[in-house]
A and B are shown apart, each in its own frame.
Chain A
Amino acid sequence: MAELRGVGIGLGVAQGPVARMAEPLPAPSDAPSARSADEETARVKDAVGGVARELEQRGALAGGAAQDVLEAQAMMAEDPSLESEIDTRIATGKTAEWAVFDAFASFRDQLVAMGGYLGERAADLDDVAQRVIAHLRGVPAPGVPDPGHPFVLVAKDLAPADTALLDLDKVLALVTTEGGPTSHTAILAREKSIVAVVGVAAAAGLADGETVIVDAAKGVVTTEPTADELAQAQNRADARRSASSAPITPGALADGTAVPLLANLGKPGGAAEAVELGAEGVGLFRTEFLFLSSSQAPTVEQQRAAYTELLEAFPGKKVVVRTLDAGADKPLAFLNDAHEENPALGLRGIRALRASEDILREQLTALQQADAATNADLWVMAPMVATVEETEYFVELARDYGVKTAGIMVEVPSIALMADRALAYADFASIGTNDLTQYTMAADRLLGSVASFQDPWHPAVLRLIREVGEAGRVQGKPVGICGEAAADPLLAVVLVGLGATSLSMAPTALADVRATLLLHSLDEARAIAEAALTANDAASARTAAQEAATR
Chain B
Amino acid sequence: MPPISRTVHIGSSHGLHARPAKLFAQAAKESGIPVTIAKGSGAPANAASILGVIALGVEHGDYVTLTADGDGAEGVLDTLSELLTTDHDAE
Cβ contact within 8 Å between A81 and B54: no
At the interface, yes or no: A121 with Cβ under 8 Å from chain B? Answer: yes
At the interface, yes or no: A118 with Cβ under 8 Å from chain B? Answer: yes
Distance (whole angstroms) from the CB of A63 to the closest CB of chain B: 14
Interface string of A98-127 (1 = CB under 8 A from B): 000000000100110010011001000100
At the interface, yes or no: B52 with Cβ under 8 Å from chain A? Answer: yes
At the interface, yes or no: B65 with Cβ under 8 Å from chain A? Answer: no
At the interface, yes or no: A357 with Cβ under 8 Å from chain B? Answer: no
Chain B residues 18-37 with CB under 8 Å of chain A are: 18-19, 21-22, 25-26
Distance (whole angstroms) from the CB of A105 to the closest CB of chain B: 12
Cβ contact within 8 Å between A81 and B45: yes
Out of B45, B50, B57, which one reaches A72, CB within 8 Å?
A: B50
Distance (whole angstroms) from the CB of B42 to the closest CB of chain A: 13
Residues of B within 8 A of A111 (CB): 54-55
Interface centre among A69, A75, A111 (most CB of B within 10 A): A75
Out of B14, B49, B57, which one reaches A81, CB within 8 Å?
A: B49
Residues of B within 8 A of A524 (CB): none
- The CA of A81 and the CA of B14, in the complex, are separated in Å by 23
- The CA of A35 and the CA of B21, in the complex, are separated in Å by 36
How many chain-B residues does the 8 Å CB contact rule pick out?
Answer: 18
- The CA of A470 and the CA of B55, in the complex, are separated in Å by 64
- The CA of A82 and the CA of B52, in the complex, are separated in Å by 9
At the interface, yes or no: B51 with Cβ under 8 Å from chain A? Answer: yes
Residues of B within 8 A of A75 (CB): 22, 25-26, 50
A-B complex: 10 closest residue pairs judged by Cβ atoms:
A81-B49, A72-B22, A75-B50, A81-B52, A79-B51, A68-B19, A80-B49, A79-B49, A107-B51, A114-B57
Distance (whole angstroms) from the CB of A261 to the closest CB of chain B: 45
Distance (whole angstroms) from the CB of A79 to the closest CB of chain B: 5
Residue of A nearest to B57 (CB): A114
Chain A residues 59-84 with CB under 8 Å of chain B are: 68-69, 71-72, 75-76, 79-82
Interface string of B46-85 (1 = CB under 8 A from A): 1011111011010000000000000000000000000000
Residues of A within 8 A of B55 (CB): 107, 110-111, 114, 118
Residues of B within 8 A of A80 (CB): 46, 48-49
Distance (whole angstroms) from the CB of A71 to the closest CB of chain B: 6
A-B contacts, 15 listed (Cβ < 8 Å):
A72-B22, A75-B22, A76-B51, A80-B48, A80-B49, A81-B51, A81-B52, A82-B49, A82-B51, A107-B55, A110-B55, A117-B18, A118-B17, A121-B18, A125-B51
Residues of B within 8 A of A79 (CB): 49-52
- Which residues in A have some Cβ–Cβ distance to B below 8 Å? 68-69, 71-72, 75-76, 79-82, 107, 110-111, 114, 117-118, 121, 125
- The CA of A121 and the CA of B57, in the complex, are separated in Å by 12
Residues of B within 8 A of A125 (CB): 51
Cβ contact within 8 Å between B22 and A121: no
- Which residues in B have some Cβ–Cβ distance to A below 8 Å? 14, 17-19, 21-22, 25-26, 45-46, 48-52, 54-55, 57
A72-B19, A80-B46, A110-B55 given. 14 additional CB < 8 A pairs?
A: A68-B18, A68-B19, A72-B18, A72-B21, A72-B50, A75-B22, A79-B51, A79-B52, A80-B48, A81-B51, A111-B54, A111-B55, A121-B18, A125-B51
- The CA of A72 and the CA of B20, in the complex, are separated in Å by 10
Residues of B within 8 A of A121 (CB): 17-18, 54
Cβ contact within 8 Å between A117 and B17: yes
Residues of A within 8 A of B48 (CB): 80
Distance (whole angstroms) from the CB of A67 to the closest CB of chain B: 10
Residues of A within 8 A of B54 (CB): 111, 118, 121
Residues of B within 8 A of A110 (CB): 55
Residues of A within 8 A of B19 (CB): 68, 72
Distance (whole angstroms) from the CB of B38 to the closest CB of chain A: 14
Given A68-B19, A72-B21, A72-B22: A118 touches B57 (CB 8 Å cut-off): yes
- The CA of A118 and the CA of B14, in the complex, are separated in Å by 12
Distance (whole angstroms) from the CB of B80 to the closest CB of chain A: 16
- The CA of A44 and the CA of B44, in the complex, are separated in Å by 26
- The CA of A40 and the CA of B90, in the complex, are separated in Å by 44
Distance (whole angstroms) from the CB of B5 to the closest CB of chain A: 20
Residues of B within 8 A of A107 (CB): 51, 55
Cβ contact within 8 Å between B17 and A81: no
Distance (whole angstroms) from the CB of A505 to the closest CB of chain B: 40
- The CA of A80 and the CA of B53, in the complex, are separated in Å by 11
Distance (whole angstroms) from the CB of A5 to the closest CB of chain B: 46
- The CA of A69 and the CA of B18, in the complex, are separated in Å by 8
Interface centre among A71, A76, A81, A107 (most CB of B within 10 A): A81
- The CA of A107 and the CA of B52, in the complex, are separated in Å by 9
Cβ contact within 8 Å between B46 and A81: yes
Given A111-B54, A121-B17: A71 touches B49 (CB 8 Å cut-off): no
Residue of A nearest to B55 (CB): A110
- The CA of A366 and the CA of B27, in the complex, are separated in Å by 58
Residue of A nearest to B45 (CB): A81
Residue of A nearest to B49 (CB): A81
- The CA of A72 and the CA of B57, in the complex, are separated in Å by 16
